[in-house]
Chain A
């Protein structure tokens, strides 16, 4: 059983839809992340939150909007996506942000997004 849970596991949405991905971590961690994994590409960091404050935003298009209401929950709001945004979206958490030596990041099972 993973300490990081993501819902939904699968999502199909049209380009004009608005949907959200949800992530919850049960590990008492202070940092949470959104990653994107496309086929044959490395994991791409999208957003990092530490103690509910965004500390990293890797030039992600504004059609992706994160929200971190508390240290246990992280959302990714999706709006007017493109077909090339279809990918596996992974949520993760770590005790502290990556700048702490010895920190380990734990992933959820991912949300498969298909944009049609």
Chain B
């Protein structure tokens, strides 16, 4: 049962434009959400997170938005750069569980 879903397996964006990566979840107990970036043959690297008490968190070019009522979060990358080309995973966890739940990932390609 997939509790965290990334319905777009891939996304292509022109360099300099905005990349928007989406993630949906089903478990209303999730209270902390994370985004990871993964290059081929490497482990995922932590990018940015957001607590359920917030609806936005920003770090440089990366902003995560959380819509709790829709059980939806998104990662915005502005401006997109070719080095951002990677697979992006969203993850969720709660203070009642023992694990992190990951989506299947979205492969972002930024075209120079």
B-contacting residues of A (Cβ < 8 Å)? 2, 4, 6, 33, 40-43, 45, 48, 50, 55-56, 90, 92, 97-110, 112
Contact = CB atoms under 8 A, between A and B. Distances in A.
B37 to A, nearest CB: 11
Contacts of B69: none
Interface in B50-101: 51, 89, 91, 93-100
Given A56-B99, A90-B43, 16 more contacts: A42-B104, A42-B105, A45-B99, A45-B100, A48-B98, A56-B98, A90-B44, A99-B97, A101-B31, A101-B32, A101-B95, A105-B100, A107-B36, A108-B43, A109-B41, A109-B43
B50 to A, nearest CB: 10
B2 interface: yes
B34 A100 contact: no
B25 interface: no
Interface of B: 2, 4, 31-32, 34, 36, 41-46, 49, 51, 89, 91, 93-100, 102-105
Nearest to B105: A42
Given A41-B104, A42-B2, A43-B102, A100 B95 contact: yes
A42 B99 contact: no
Contacts, number: 71
Given A102-B51, A105-B91, A2 B43 contact: yes
A101 B100 contact: no
Q: Which 10 A-B pairs rank lowest in CB-CB distance, beginning with the nearest?
A: A107-B43, A43-B102, A101-B95, A42-B104, A109-B43, A98-B93, A56-B98, A110-B43, A107-B44, A98-B99
